[in-house]
Structure 1
């Protein structure tokens, strides 16, 4: 039976969902967005197709993200979205897959239970949870079993996880609900305040990706965007500079750096020495923000290394953990331990 079953590792993120199938690698990478007809409750689109609808739907259709700050905000929609992605990844199979899902390091027992129940009801035979920093380290190729300190900074869409890992476990960690989405919101507020123009989430994200920076660039770069003039109510085109975005994102980026500083302050001296020698490993979509590594280095005086594939690192690590499920079954939080299979 194990031969026919496709086990899955799922990075259930606020901004996107990545699914890793055992022996196949990453088979799905789509935004965690769904479009629903409010009248019938029917799913109209999921993933990339639904993301294109954000801010552009008529009254009877809503496009929304059922995940917020790394945890489930709308249980029923998350369950249905998970079911869609699991079925898409597994295909036509009579065997239910075992699933490992990564969660932020600071989640509560209630939030863990919600993820486990949603996964079981979505079609998993058994579900395990793994913390994001552990999955990120595994996915980036770090040998977490050695008695050495490794510092992981995983900046996603809804949460930033900072952890020091040694001997296969987390020594100290902190998870804050400030990440990429908060940078987008900060850009929207800044453009509204400075230019009297309202822009949407997708436009703010495009600005962040294309010209956003966390550290002063050698040469300022510019991008034109269109929005709604708040004074006239008419469409307006403005030119935004990278220096403006640096100023716009200052607050959320400062809080991320402060969290890294907080964890470093509480790291045991021997592990802190290891981190000083090896540097900090950064993963997640936030690692791709221009100058983020330079900002952290300037504040901590520690070299920052970006994972080879920062966006996929957590999903790859979650998938690789599938090989260890049988060995780690007693150590992982799983659906049997809280009785979700009793429904």
Structure 2
């Protein structure tokens, strides 16, 4: 019997879920390549350690950008490495794979993901929209007629959706998420402190003192980088209040998109959401005060999933077991939602 594998092919991290084992892999979606020989030197956490520290002939980069494949060849090789690492390399027992894609991707982008998963060793490959997988992974029953709202704040995209009867009723996918938070922090440090820092440092600051809503007690940390005036190494002390100011724009953009989706939601489903509240998933849900910010802007209760980072991967794995039921529901609504492609 073929192994059933759910893959959250994220801009920041790749998570692999195997039925009966749970999450078996959680590594950064970063690949280090020798540009002279086209040889892959490192994948995952080892490659992430090289970001911003490589010599001229080595590139450490993310092959996915804003939730979609930007470098097909490298993505395929990365997927093959992760699938072999978790499922083995048997020629005869190839896994059945469910891969998540953001809700707003085009058919061309879907095909690129599907083909990459097939070339990486998938026997059959299904695609699923991220907010639906996130809702299933968060423990929500998406097959019920009552409306549910899920917000998945990932690395490259934020997916917002209202779900009922196993399908997405209204949704939005915006390229404003965790990576943008890092980018805005880097920009703020350059503009306000005249300090040049790298992407990794921006992410570390976000995790340590980043905030979307005022904290009861202000926290601070030291940040090291290069002084843009003197060109020498420099250390400055930054506060959580400054970081709230730094990421105010992307946080507000996400809140405006949530408001936009609620405006398009049928009144009966909006009433259901008002009663049940909103579910936050994805790594961005762990940003301090994000739930409070969304609650302030919508006036509704906001819950953070138990394991927000793993929701999409867990949801894809669970969806493979419920595939027939979900396909039947989606066919009854707006045509097939789960696209399948097998090996030729």
Name the TM tier (shorter chain): over 0.9
> What pairs with 1:145-184 in structure 2 (closer than 5 Å)?
145-184=143-182
Query: What does the per-residue CA deviation read over 1:65-113, in whole Å, with 9 as the maximum and x for residues that have no partner?
Result: 0000000000000000000001001024331111000100001000000
> What pairs with 1:230-245 in structure 2 (closer than 5 Å)?
230-245=228-243
User: Quick one: which of 113, 129, 132 aligns to 2:127?
Assistant: 129
User: Quick one: which of 232, 256, 259 aligns to 1:258?
Assistant: 256
Paired residues of 1:27 and 1:89 also in contact (CA < 8 A): yes
Query: What does the per-residue CA deviation read over 1:180-239, in whole Å, with 9 as the maximum and x for residues that have no partner?
Result: 000100000000000000001111111101101000111111010100001111100011
Number of the residue aligned with 2:278: 280
- Partners of 1:296 and 1:7 lie apart in 2 by 35
User: Quick one: which of 216, 221, 224 aligns to 1:223?
Assistant: 221
The answer for unaligned runs of 5 or more in structure 2 is: 328-335
TM-superposed CA distance for 1:331, in Å, is 4.8
User: Quick one: which of 112, 117, 122 aligns to 2:110?
Assistant: 112
SS at match of 1:335: strand
Paired residues of 2:34 and 2:57 also in contact (CA < 8 A): yes
Report whether the alignment pairs 1:6 with 2:3: yes
- Partners of 1:195 and 1:174 lie apart in 2 by 35
TM-score by length of 2: 0.96
Equivalent residue pairs, number? 335
SS at match of 2:308: coil
- Partners of 1:328 and 1:186 lie apart in 2 by 39
- Partners of 2:146 and 2:70 lie apart in 1 by 37
Number of the residue aligned with 2:331: none
Paired residues of 2:143 and 2:326 also in contact (CA < 8 A): no
- Partners of 1:309 and 1:278 lie apart in 2 by 19
Structure 1: 4+ residue segments shifted above 6 A: none
User: Quick one: which of 95, 99, 102 aligns to 1:101?
Assistant: 99
Aligned-pair Cα RMSD in Å: 1.1
TM-superposed CA distance for 1:328, in Å, is 5.0
User: Quick one: which of 35, 46, 63 aligns to 1:49?
Assistant: 46
TM-superposed CA distance for 1:335, in Å, is 1.3
Report whether the alignment pairs 1:24 with 2:30: no
TM-score by length of 1: 0.96
